Amino acid sequence: MDHAADIPDVFDPRVYAAGVPHERYRLLRDRHPVAWQPEPEIAGWPAGPGFWAVTRHADVVHVLRDHRTYSSWLGATQIRDPDPADLPFLRRTMLNQDPPEHGRLRRLVARAFTPARVDAFAGRVRERARTLLATARDTAEDGAADLVRTVTDEYALLNLTDLLGVPPADRALLLEWTVRVIGYQDPDDAPAPLLGPDGTPLNPRSPALLGEMFAYARELAAHKRDHPGDDVMTALATAGLDPAELEMFFFLLTVAGNDTVRSAAPGGLLALAGAPDEYRRLAAGDVPVERAVDELLRVHPPVLSFRRSAATDHELAGQPVRAGDKVVVLHASANHDDRVFTDPGRLDLGRTPNPHVSFGDGPHVCLGAHFARLQLRILYEEWCAAMPVPELAGQPKRLVSNFINGITRLPLRVSGPAG
């Protein structure tokens, strides 16, 4: 298919290193709400057939809710096509399944991931936020600290490992696996790619590269059956999942569960640093913190895009789409659609209603959204209680990725009276 000259590129991961391309998204929403995007070869990753980029809020929600037309199973959920030999393996995770199979697995897992179990960890989460923020403040050089390395990476990881029941000695493994799977497009954030026999990079989600994680999941589940605790892995180990389902859910939790907060927390602090008056409203208690969390998620969604595959020939926003075409929803674009959000470029911590799609929509809406919101709420509360008004002390650095809206460096002022 031809790529019209006035259709901006929103595929190239390098575009996102400079920030979410909101002006490009606006042009697409206004002129080409379902726009064809080529997939050229980039940094050694082979070219692909291209995809439809969906940018308007209403169309994004429609795609996410209509699993019969827009399948997660046909081609999985990443923009790049997986190796066909890997597809059966990827379909073991509920992220890459359609109802009714998806619903069976989600119901089993939801029994382990109850709000009551999540809420029981709130005290530990709060103590961790206080400790990490105090350490960042007390060890700061010239009154500044990189919040990613001193607070948010560890905060997200340790909260998740508490919930899962991962022993302290094993926690660094989870971060290593997350970086390999999420950061593979970033030349600075990712480990050196492992190459296949033909010299091309192996997909970090392929069976060959996930074997270590799966072996660990089996060992941990066996340990939990013999030594049960009040944690998610104990519940999963006895939930009736078959071994492959348990392995894939451990993978999903380890990566998605860690990186959601790992991306959203510094993104929220960066947004607050850019809007000190809004921060003061939050610190003064003039806006409910739960509402502020959702507005910060709207302006900095942790996930930028998800892919579906068209199951039938149809039209979307007047654009003919053929069966088999890739259809990619752009969450950050939908969250800035002025058809839904008044003055979407402005941070309004009291915004209501706020139908953002940062946790998705439809059958695949994020299972861990409650835990993510709890962690973000507590982190912002503890910042307001003990830290100064967020102020940049250097240039942030963003992850080179068209999938995760990551921040890899966030220098902030941490010395001074609570603001």
123-135 core/surface letters (b: 16 or more CB in 10 A; e: else): eebbebbeebbee
CA distance linking residue 109 with residue 239, whole number of Å:
7
CA distance linking residue 88 with residue 11, whole number of Å:
26
With contact defined as beta carbons under 8 Å apart, do 307 and 327 qualify?
yes
The answer to whether residue 177 scores a pLDDT higher than 70 is: yes
CA distance linking residue 10 with residue 331, whole number of Å:
12
CA distance linking residue 332 with residue 346, whole number of Å:
14
**Angle of the 276-283 helix axis to the 369-386 helix axis, nearest 10:** 90
The residue assigned the tokens 């695949």 is 364
Beta bridge partners of 413: 144
With contact defined as beta carbons under 8 Å apart, do 54 and 329 qualify?
yes
The answer to whether residue 196 scores a pLDDT higher than 60 is: no
For the chain, how long is the longest CA-to-CA vector? 62
Helix-strand-coil percent breakdown of the chain, rounded to 5? 50, 10, 40
- Choosing among 3.30.460.10, 3.30.43.10, 1.10.630.10, 3.30.70.260, the CATH entry for 13-413 is 1.10.630.10
pLDDT tens per residue across span 231-267: 999 999 988 888 888 988 888 888 878 889 999 999 9
HEC-encoded secondary structure of 313-339:
CEEECCEEECCCCEEEEEHHHHCCCCC
Mean pLDDT value of segment 96-111? 92
The answer to whether residue 205 scores a pLDDT higher than 70 is: no
Tell me, what's the pLDDT at 324? 98
With contact defined as beta carbons under 8 Å apart, do 32 and 7 qualify?
yes
Q: What is the pTM of this model?
A: 0.92
Please give the mean pLDDT across all residues of the chain: 91
Report how far Cα 34 is from the mean position of its chain's Cα atoms: 23
The answer to whether residue 57 scores a pLDDT higher than 60 is: yes
The closest of 318, 298, 301, 361 to 61, measured between CA atoms, is 361
Cβ-Cβ contacts under 8 Å for 160 (sequence gap 6 or more): 166, 174, 253, 254, 257, 258, 261
pLDDT tens per residue across span 359-380: 999 999 999 999 999 999 999 9
CA distance linking residue 351 with residue 411, whole number of Å:
27
Question: Would you list the domain boundaries of the chain?
Answer: 13-413
With contact defined as beta carbons under 8 Å apart, do 325 and 51 qualify?
yes
Mean pLDDT value of segment 15-29? 97
Cβ-Cβ contacts under 8 Å for 347 (sequence gap 6 or more): 271, 272, 274, 275, 278, 295, 296, 299
pLDDT tens per residue across span 274-289: 999 999 999 999 999 9
Tell me, what's the pLDDT at 379? 98
The residue assigned the tokens 């697409």 is 28
Name the helix (H) or strand (E) containing 49. Answer: strand 48-54
The answer to whether residue 197 scores a pLDDT higher than 60 is: no
Cα–Cα–Cα angle for 128, 132, 138, nearest 5°?
145
**Cα distances (angstroms) measured from residue 116 to each of 119, 120, 138, 258, 370:** 5, 6, 34, 20, 10
